[in-house]
Amino acid sequence: MKLSEFADRLDDELAVADWRGADYAVNGLQVGPEDAEVEHAAFAVDGVVATFEAAADAGADVLVVHHGVSWGGIDRVTGKEYDRVRALLDNDLALYAAHVPLDAHPAYGNAARLCEYLDLDVVEGFGREGPGHVGQRGRAAEPYTTAELRERLEELEGGDGVQVLDFGPERIEDVAVLTGSGTDWLDEAREKGVDALITGEGKQPAYHEAREAGISVFLAGHYATETFGVRALADLAEGWEVETTYLSHPTGL
């Protein structure tokens, strides 16, 4: 299919237009001629030189990522921007990026798929942002202990240990999930009365906020919590009769 059709299908599935103006990332097709043919699509968390070269080595026509190269637009193509754009052009590789629309999606989203991985029944959105929520709130069918939940999260792809701010109840049932960097939503977690917040990485104020709220925070790694969305999109694209390749490139962060 044409690259324009491939991008339009992803735009529609992810409701990209609904998030316009609510995400500092530029979502959708970022680099590539719209009339190019797509027979093989690669998928990765990060759009960087390493994944561009790996996608090209795999014979992909387009790379779909969660973290693209345009964050609020590109004013100058110099430095790392030049290196990344050159790697795409030299390899005749198109780039499609979905940031918040992929975090937020109720079926393909990072939070939704992490809830599924943890056997959490989604009860509502979590993490108010723009027109919706960028995370999910789930309830465990079988409550976790702190140790059990940490162990399950340590099995994630690219995980390099899970840090826990252990201030919540030992019996964990009501869980907020917001992948990547989600501790800015600890006030909402407190309002909702959840037992725990699962995210990728934290900020220093999260320690005291979690302690005062009586909530445990699990920091499972930014990369490790955000492989789910692009892998879900790879499964979706297979149904379009497009060959797919998933590229694993953990950062340990």
Helix (H), strand (E) at residue 177: strand 172-177
- Closest C-alpha among 220, 247, 224 to residue 44: 247
Cβ 6 vs Cβ 38: under 8 Å: yes
**Is position 249 annotated in a ligand binding site?**
no
Q: Please, which residues have CB within 8 angstroms of residue 80's CB and are 6 or more apart in sequence?
A: none
Q: How far apart are CA 199 and CA 190, in angstroms?
A: 15
Is 222 labeled as ligand-binding? Answer: yes
Question: Within 10 Å of residue 246's Cβ, how many Cβ atoms?
Answer: 17
Query: Which is it for strands 172-177 and 132-144: parallel, antiparallel or unpaired?
Result: antiparallel
103 annotated among ligand-binding-site residues: yes
226 is in an annotated binding site: yes
Tokens matching residue 176: 């907020």
Q: Residues 27, 100: contact at Cβ < 8 Å?
A: yes
Tokens coding 45: 């968390």
Q: What share of the chain is helix, strand, coil (3-state, %, to 5)?
A: 35, 25, 35
> Residues marked as binding?
66-67, 103, 222, 226
* Residue positions forming the annotated binding site for a divalent metal cation: 66-67, 103, 222, 226
